[in-house]
Amino acid sequence: MEYFSGSKKLLLFILEDWKLLLFLTVLFGLYFYYTSTFDFFEKKGIPFKKPVIFLGNLGPRLRGTQSFHEFQLEAYKNFKGNRYGGLFEGRRPLLTIMDPELIKAITIRDFDHFTDRITLNAKEPKFWSRSLLNLKGAEWKPLTPVFSSSRLRNMLPLIQLCSTQMVDFLKQYDKKDVEMKKTIGHFTLEVIGACAFGIKCDALSDENAHFFNVAEKFDYMPLHKRLMLFFILIFVPQLIKILNFSFLNLTSAKELVRILKAAKAERKKSGVKKNDFLQILIDFSEKERSESEKNKSEIHLDEDTVDAQLLLFLIAGYETSSTLLSFAVHVLATKPDLQTKLRAHVKEMTEGKELDYDCLAQLHYLEGFLLETLRMFPPLARVDRVCTKQYTIPGTSIQLNPGNVVAIPLYGIHMDPEYYPDPQEFKPERFMNEDKKDRASHLYLAFGAGPRNCIGLRFAMLSAKLAMVELIKNFKFSTCEKTVDPIQFDKRSLLLKAQGGLWVRIEKL
C-alpha cells in the first residue's frame, strides 16, 4: 500500500507542477546542448580559453568593449608560446593556429584538407551563396587565373583614367578637412565599375551618384537585424538554411545585381568585347559550357555564379581598396617626414617616364609603403579554413574531422615583434630587399596565403599604386582638428573601420 501511495503522490506532483518540470527539463536540455562542445579542446589536450555558456569567448565583442582586431590580437597573445589554442564562438570550437610551420601546412602543403571557408550555408540569395567565398571543394578553381599579367596590362589605361579623374575630384577639397574613407571610395568604385563591368559609375563626377549611394550601403543592417542574425548564428545556426540570412544589405545588393545583370545582358547583346572582369567571366563561362557539352562534365560557372562573382568583386574591391588607400593617406598626414620621402621616391622613379605596368613594378618603396599599411591595418583580422577531410596535426596524434574550423590570427601575427620588430612602428623597409627575403611569405597574410588566397591581390596593388602616385604628386596631406592618432578601431564592425573616420587636411601642390 505504501508503494502505491508514494506513486500516487509522485503522479499528483507531476500533474500539479508539470509546468515547472517542463521548464527545468528544457533548461537542462539547453544547458547540455550549449555546453556539450566545451570539452572539445580538453579532450585533445589543447590549451583553451574557458568559455561562457551561450557566448563562448565572444563576451568582449558583444559588450562592445573590443574591436574584432583587438579581440584577435588578445587571443594571439593569450596563446603565444603554444603551437595552437582553442576559442569558442558560441558553442562552436575554433582552433587558433599559432605555429608558422603549421600555418604553412594548413594553407599550402596540406591545403587539400582545408579547401573551404566558413560560410552561412544559406541557399539563397544565389548572388551570395554562389560567390567565390562560399564555393566549396574545387568549384573556385576556374576563377583563379582571371588577373594574369596580360589582363592587368590591358586594364591599366582604365585605371589611369580613373586616377586622373580622382585628382580632379579631390581638387574641390583644396585646403579643406576631409574624411578619406568615404572620399577615396568614389575612386575605388569608379575603378571597379570601369575594370569590372565597363560601365561609368559617375562616382568621380557626381557625389550623389546613384551607383555610389547604393554600393556604399552594401553592409548596412539595422540594429534589430544584426541582433537577430547574431542570435541565429550563436543559438540556432541551422535556421540559416531556412531563413536564408545574409551579411549583406539585401535591398542594396539586389539593386547592384540588377545593374550588373543589365550590363552583362547589354554586353552579350552588343557582341562587343572589352578588357574587363565581366568579359573574362563571360568568356570563361562560354568556354566551360562548350567543354561541358563535349565531355558531359559539370558546369561551375553558370549564370548565378557569374553574377555572384561580379557582385563580390564590386563589394570586396570597393571596401578593401578604399580601406587601404584611406589608411595610407592617414599615415602620410601623421608622418610628414615619410610623406616627403615617398614623394621624392615617386618623382625620381616616374619623372619623364610613361607610367606603365613595368614602371609601377619598379616603385619598390611605394610597394613597401602599401604592404606596411596592410600589415598594420589589414581589412580582416583573421583567416578561416574548414577541415574538409580528416587531418592529423603534424607532430601530434590530434585529429581534426570534417567540419572542424581552424583560424589563423592574421592581425596577431602582423603585430608580433618576433616576426616584425617594433610592430607599432611604420617601416616600409620591412618589405624591401633582405628584410623581405628573411621572412616566410606565409607570415604576411593581408591577402591570405596558399592556393585560396585573394585572387584580386595583384589588381588591388596595381590600382592602389596608381592612385598613390597621383595622390602624392598632386596633394599634400596633413593633420586637422578631427585627426585621431593613434587610430581607434571601430568596436562594432567586423571589417576594419576607424572610430569616427579618417580625417585629414588636403592641399593642392
Measure the N-to-C terminal CA separation of the chain; round to a whole number of Å.
103
Three-state secondary structure string covering 394-413: CCCCCEECCCCEEEECHHHH
Q: Which 3 state secondary structure label does DSSP give 477? A: strand
Calculate helix-pair angle for 457-474, 303-334, nearest 10 degrees. Answer: 40
Sheet architecture: strand order including 92-97: 84-89, 92-97, 405-408, 383-386
Is the CA virtual torsion 82, 84, 86, 89 positive or negative? positive
Task: Judge whether 445 and 100 are in contact, CB under 8 Å.
Answer: no
Dist. CA 278–CA 294, nearest whole Å? 25
Strand runs (DSSP E) across 67-205, as ranges?
84-89, 92-97, 176-179
Whose cell is 580538453? That residue is: 42
DSSP 488: P
Dist. CA 458–CA 277, nearest whole Å? 13
Task: Judge whether 449 and 107 are in contact, CB under 8 Å.
Answer: yes
Strand runs (DSSP E) across 141-300, as ranges?
176-179
454 labelled as ligand-binding?
yes
Which residues contribute to the annotated binding site? 454
Which residues contribute to the annotated binding site for heme? 454
